[in-house]
Amino acid sequence: MNKKTFFPKVAFDMFTMQMVWSLYFLGSLLAVHIMMVVLAVNINDSIGDFLFFSHGSAKIYMLVIGIISTYGFLTHFAHHGVTRKDYFKGAFIAAIGVALAIAVIAAAVTGIEYVMIEMTGTQDVLERSLSAVDITSNSISVELPDIIFQSSVLLHGTNWVASLFLFSLNVLTYFAAGWLIGSGFYRFGWVIGLGFIVLSLLFMVTGDLIWGIELGEPLSNWLPFSSISLPFYVSFLYNLIMIGVMLVLIRLAIRHTPIKM
Amino acid sequence: MTFDIEIKNLSLYYRQFTALNDISLNLESGRIYGLLGRNGAGKTSLLTLLATFRKVKKGSIQIDGEDPFENAAVMQHIAFHYEADYSELTENIKDMLNSAERYRPYFDRDYAHYLADRFKLPLKKPIKKLSRGMQSAFEVTLGLASRTPLTIFDETYLGMDAPAREIFYRELLEDQASHPRTIILSTHLVSEMDYLFDDVIILDQGRIILHEDYETLVSKGASITGAAEEVDAFVTGMTKLNEQELGNTKAVMVYGELADARRTEAQRKGLEVGPISLQDLFIYLTSEEARYE
pLDDT bin (cut points 50, 70, 90) of residue A133 is: very low
Helix axes B93-103, B109-118, angle to 10 degrees: 150
Are residues B36 and B10 part of one domain? yes
> Is residue B114 in some structural domain?
yes
From the list B1, B55, B78, the residue facing A81 with the nearest CB is: B78
CB proximity list for B99: less than 8 A, separation 6 or greater: A13, A80, B91
Are residues B185 and B239 part of one domain? no
The CATH number linked to B126 is: 3.40.50.300
Closest CA to B104 of B80, B82, B76: B76
The CATH number linked to B227 is: 3.30.70
What kind and span of H or E run contains A85? helix A84-120
pLDDT at residue A227, rounded to an integer? 58
> Is residue A260 in some structural domain?
no
Interchain contact A139–B (C-beta under 8 A): no
Average pLDDT over residues A24-52: 87
pLDDT at residue B242, rounded to an integer? 83
pLDDT at residue A165, rounded to an integer? 84
Interchain contact B105–A (C-beta under 8 A): yes
> Is residue A87 in some structural domain?
yes
Angstrom distances, CA of residue B255 to CA of B218, B230, B234, B277? 10, 18, 13, 11
Are residues B269 and B126 part of one domain? no
pLDDT > 70: percent of chain A: 78
Closest CA to A247 of A73, A66, A16, A15: A66
Interchain contact B92–A (C-beta under 8 A): no
Separation of alpha carbons A204 and B95, rounded Å = 36
- Global pTM reads 0.88
Q: Residue A220 pLDDT > 50, yes or no?
A: no
CB proximity under 8 Å: A 77-116 to B: 77-86
pLDDT bin (cut points 50, 70, 90) of residue A136 is: very low
Are residues B67 and B177 part of one domain? yes
Are residues B177 and B65 part of one domain? yes
A–B CB contacts, 8 A cutoff, strictly below: 62
Instruction: Write down the mean pLDDT value for chain A.
Output: 81
Are residues B262 and B167 part of one domain? no
DSSP helix/strand/coil, A88? helix
**Closest residue in A to B80 (Cα–Cα):** A79
Are residues B253 and B206 part of one domain? no
Interchain contact A8–B (C-beta under 8 A): no
> Is residue A164 in some structural domain?
yes
Is the CB of A1 less than 8 angstroms away from the CB of B104?
Answer: no
pLDDT bin (cut points 50, 70, 90) of residue A210 is: confident
pLDDT at residue B93, rounded to an integer? 93
Q: Cβ distance B192 to B160 under 8 Å?
A: no
**Closest residue in A to B72 (Cα–Cα):** A4
- φ, ψ of residue A170 to 5 degrees: the values are -65, -45
- Total structural domains within chain B: 2
> Is residue B290 in some structural domain?
no
Could you read off the pLDDT of A154-165 as tens digits, one per residue?
Answer: 344 446 677 788
ω into residue A218 within 30 of 0, thus cis?
yes
How many other CB atoms sit within 10 Å of the CB of residue B66?
Answer: 11
Separation of alpha carbons B208 and B199, rounded Å = 13
Per the structure, the complete domain to which residue A159 belongs is given by 7-254
pLDDT at residue A120, rounded to an integer? 79
**Strand B17-27 to B249-255 pairing:** unpaired
Are residues B140 and B271 part of one domain? no
Chain A residues in contact with B150 (beta carbon < 8 A): none
> Is residue A232 in some structural domain?
yes
Could you read off the pLDDT of B112-160 as tens digits, one per residue?
Answer: 999 999 999 999 999 999 999 999 999 999 999 999 999 999 999 888 9
The region, left, alpha or beta by phi > 0 then psi within -120 to 50, assigned to residue B237 is left
- Spell out the SS3 assignment of A100-165: HHHHHHHHHHHHHHHHHHHHHCCHHHECCCHHHCCCCCCCHHHCCCHHHHHHCCCCCCCCHHHHHH
**Residue to substitute from B2, B3, B57, B75, interface A, most A β-carbons within 10 A:** B75
- Total structural domains within chain A: 1
Q: Residue A94: is it exposed, middle or buried by C-beta count within 10 angstroms (0-12/13-18/19+)?
A: buried
Least confident of A6-20, A127-141, B87-101, B106-120: A127-141
pLDDT at residue A2, rounded to an integer? 62
Average pLDDT over residues A87-93: 97
> Is residue B185 in some structural domain?
yes
pLDDT bin (cut points 50, 70, 90) of residue A40 is: confident
Average pLDDT over residues A82-97: 97
Closest CA to B157 of B175, B128, B132, B178: B132
Interchain contact B249–A (C-beta under 8 A): no
Are residues B198 and B263 part of one domain? no
> Is residue A259 in some structural domain?
no
Is the CB of B103 less than 8 angstroms away from the CB of A258?
Answer: no
pLDDT > 90: percent of chain A: 51
- φ, ψ of residue B288 to 5 degrees: the values are -60, -40
Is the CB of B76 less than 8 angstroms away from the CB of A86?
Answer: no
> Is residue B14 in some structural domain?
yes
> Is residue A1 in some structural domain?
no
Per the structure, the complete domain to which residue B238 belongs is given by 221-275
Q: In this predicted model, which residue has the larger pLDDT, A30 or A37?
A: A30
Are residues B267 and B129 part of one domain? no
Least confident of A115-129, A237-251, B124-138, B203-217: A115-129
Angstrom distances, CA of residue A207 to CA of A95, A131, A140, A166, A202? 18, 21, 14, 12, 8
> Is residue B246 in some structural domain?
yes
Could you read off the pLDDT of A221-231 as tens digits, one per residue?
Answer: 555 555 566 77
Average pLDDT over residues A56-64: 92
Q: Cβ distance B11 to B22 under 8 Å?
A: yes
CA angle, B85 then A6 then B94, to 5°: 45
Are residues B196 and B129 part of one domain? yes
Chain B residues in contact with A71 (beta carbon < 8 A): none
Average pLDDT over residues A18-46: 90
Is the CB of A81 less than 8 angstroms away from the CB of B82?
Answer: no
Residues of chain B with pLDDT under 70: 1, 289-293
pLDDT at residue B9, rounded to an integer? 96
Are residues B30 and B80 part of one domain? yes
